[in-house]
Structure 1
Amino acid sequence: MSNVEAEPAVVRCGALVDDRRPAEVPRVDVLPAREVPLGGPRAMTVRRTLPQRARTLIGAWCFADHYGPDDVATTSGMDVAPHPHTGLQTVSWLFSGEIEHRDSLGTQALVRPGEMNLMTGGYGIAHAEVSTPRTTVIHGVQLWVALPGEHRNVDRAFQYYVPEPLRIDGAEIRAFLGSLAGDTSPVQTFTPLLGAEVILAPHATITLAVDTAFEHGLLVDSGEVRVADTLLHPAELGYVHPGIDALTLVNESDGPARTILLGGTPFEEEIVMWWNFVGRSHDDIVRAREDWEASSDRFGVVEGYPGGRLPAPALPNATITPRRNPPRR
């Protein structure tokens, strides 16, 4: 998915200091979402929890959009024209609906509920995403992962994976990246990561073993979910500091609760994010934008989309300045 804001925020993320704490009750920060429209007056609206002023990264996860359930008869569904990416991987995960993905590798794939599509941008890729005519309700998440410096210019790539659901203690778990509850995804990432859908039955409680080196984020899609002493409401992202070896989730609602659990080791590199680009400096962003506007070979061509490409927004009238995660206490 593209960041289609007319004036996208500039984000510079600083290196983090590890403050691993003894295994104890997790410290949870609640990160609210802000609404961002994707296009014109009948456009979808997404709820964005990363990046924001309070936190720019969770592990290498640097962007999280949560959308729906949207009736496509009202919103026209998703229609994101060809647009570029650099220095990142995109992760598409649906709860309902169907999206056609086309990219400059020549990939034409359908994104369906419970099936993960991961695209590696590396030095440069372009893609388009359109909800299919079969879709009546569109609902899911779009996530980005920052690539570390030694891999940020890797070749573009596309991976597809359907995790088997695990049913444990009133929970249904699908680990699409990394390892959780004894299941490991085979999908390649370039830093240690966790990505999983966790659905809790009404009033269910589950305790999950987690890596003490990881920080975690729990995004609530539906229901009311308690993490440690903190109750999270729909569309909120709970940030859990590193240093714990288990994470207990409690569904406080009378219906099922659906969540997305993200995790990773603190990302210790300084990166710059603007529009659909992740780089290491203001000059990286300027160069990527110029290459996209010039239709250079860097991003390739998306075939089969019935329309033009997304133009890049105007650059800010200033050099990028740092925006960092808060210091660890």
Structure 2
Amino acid sequence: MSNTEADPQEVVCTDGGLPGPRAECADGVPVEIIEARDVPLGGPRAMTVRRTLPQRQRSMIGAWCFADHYGPDDVSVTGGMDVAPHPHTGLQTVSWLFEGAIDHIDSGGNVGRVLPGQLNLMTAGRGICHSEVSTAETTVLHGVQLWLALPDAVREHLPRRFQHYEPEPVAFEGGSALVFLGSLLGSVSPVDVHSPLVAAELRLDPGAALELPVDPLFEHGLLVDAGGLSLEGVPVPRATIGYTGIGSERLRLRNDGASPARAVLIGGAPFGEDIIMWWNFVGRDSDEIARYRKEWQEEGERFGEVIGYVGHDPDGLARLPAPALPGVRLHPRQNRPPHVQEGRQ
């Protein structure tokens, strides 16, 4: 998915002068609540996504640097998803659907259909472009799109790649999990990633509780899609992330609602590198971002070409132009320490 904002925010995260997070600790591990902001995904009938990462409050969770949550949207009203070819550098895109279907084409020659319960992961490496269009048969579109920052040691060397994986459900008392990256609850994903991390869809029946063993070296975020979920006794509202820092060996989840609950758990070891993320590019300095933008505008070899894109609007754009760069140098995002910011309620 593209960041289609006409004026992408440039955020400098430092130790002071920023709004404090909402931190609560009802029973055990403290929980920081990361709220979403609404972002229109292009076009006159723009589909709105709810963006929880990046924020001034917290830029990353492990290598996870971007999180959009959308739907359930009536496609007849919103127009669905139609994102013309657009570029990426230095990251992997993670597409995970609950309802609907999306056709993917990229400049690595890969064509795929994203379906519910099936992971599609695209590796940009030094540069790729792709398009994403909800299918004609889709009536309701509902899912998440996540980005993973690639470590500096590999980001310029990895080839363009597209991987598909359909995890088997892992049942537990009162619910189930689909582990699509990393390992959790005895399930291991074979998909290639380049940082220690985990991602899984979790479902809990009404009244069900789960004591989830996790890696204490990871920080975690629970993005709630539906139901009355609490994390460590702290209610996590729909479309927000409940964040826990490193050091926890178990996380306690409970569905306090009267309907089934669903969430996506993401986590990973603290990334340990400052990044600049502007528009659809992840880099390390301002000059690099400016070079990526110039090469995209000039249709350079770095990104290649999407062949076969057909959008919903026959008069729509054939490729997305990059927004104008701000008139100042971009600075790396210096993420907050991997601990809940207590005392800033």
* Structure 1 residue aligned with 2:196: 192
Q: Is residue 17 of structure 2 the alignment partner of residue 29 of structure 1?
A: no
In 2, are the aligned partners of 1:14 and 1:322 still within 8 Å (CA)? no
Tell me the distance in 2 between the aligned counterparts of 1:202 and 1:167: 15
- 1:318 is aligned, of 290, 313, 328, to 328
- 1:268 is aligned, of 259, 266, 272, to 272
- 1:259 is aligned, of 246, 249, 263, to 263
In 1, are the aligned partners of 2:284 and 2:332 still within 8 Å (CA)? no
Q: Is residue 41 of structure 2 the alignment partner of residue 7 of structure 1?
A: no
* Structure 1 residue aligned with 2:128: 125
Q: Is residue 284 of structure 2 the alignment partner of residue 280 of structure 1?
A: yes
Which deviates further from its counterpart, 116-125 or 35-44?
A: 35-44
**CA separation of 1:284 and 1:13: change in aligned 2, threshold 3 A:** farther
In 2, are the aligned partners of 1:178 and 1:194 still within 8 Å (CA)? yes
Deviations along 1:57-77, whole A, 9 cap, x unmatched? 000000000000000000110
Deviations along 1:257-276, whole A, 9 cap, x unmatched? 01000000001001100000
* Structure 1 residue aligned with 2:53: 50
What SS is found at the alignment partner of 2:258? coil
In the alignment, structure 2 segments of 5+ residues that lack a partner are 16-26, 311-316
Matched length: 321
Tell me the distance in 2 between the aligned counterparts of 1:106 and 1:321: 34
Tell me the distance in 1 between the aligned counterparts of 2:282 and 2:30: 29
* Structure 2 residue aligned with 1:145: 148
Q: Offset at 1:172? A: 1.2
Q: Offset at 1:10? A: 1.9
In 1, are the aligned partners of 2:11 and 2:56 still within 8 Å (CA)? no
* Structure 2 residue aligned with 1:102: 105
Tell me the distance in 2 between the aligned counterparts of 1:268 and 1:70: 37
Deviations along 1:234-274, whole A, 9 cap, x unmatched? 01101111101011110010000010000000010011000
* Structure 2 residue aligned with 1:156: 160
Tell me the distance in 1 between the aligned counterparts of 2:294 and 2:46: 27
What SS is found at the alignment partner of 1:298? coil
Tell me the distance in 1 between the aligned counterparts of 2:11 and 2:88: 15
**CA separation of 1:319 and 1:283: change in aligned 2, threshold 3 A:** same
Matches within 5 A, 1:225-304: 225-304=229-308
Which deviates further from its counterpart, 184-193 or 300-309?
A: 300-309
Q: Offset at 1:14? A: 8.0
Q: Offset at 1:323? A: 4.1
Deviations along 1:96-144, whole A, 9 cap, x unmatched? 0000000001111100000000000010000000000110000000000
RMSD: 1.4
- 1:309 is aligned, of 319, 325, 328, to 319
* Structure 2 residue aligned with 1:222: 226
Tell me the distance in 2 between the aligned counterparts of 1:82 and 1:275: 14
Tell me the distance in 1 between the aligned counterparts of 2:36 and 2:121: 23
Tell me the distance in 2 between the aligned counterparts of 1:115 and 1:10: 33
* Structure 1 residue aligned with 2:114: 111
In 1, are the aligned partners of 2:285 and 2:332 still within 8 Å (CA)? no
Q: Offset at 1:233? A: 1.0
Q: Which amino acid aligns with 1:313?
A: P
* Structure 1 residue aligned with 2:84: 81
In 2, are the aligned partners of 1:166 and 1:172 still within 8 Å (CA)? yes
What SS is found at the alignment partner of 1:207? strand
In the alignment, structure 1 segments of 5+ residues that lack a partner are 16-23
Tell me the distance in 1 between the aligned counterparts of 2:192 and 2:13: 24
Q: Which amino acid aligns with 1:80?
A: V
Tell me the distance in 1 between the aligned counterparts of 2:11 and 2:190: 31
Tell me the distance in 1 between the aligned counterparts of 2:194 and 2:11: 21
Q: Which amino acid aligns with 1:172?
A: S
Q: Which amino acid aligns with 1:285?
A: I
Q: Which has the higher contact order (CA 8 A, sep 6+)?
A: 1
Tell me the distance in 2 between the aligned counterparts of 1:34 and 1:11: 15
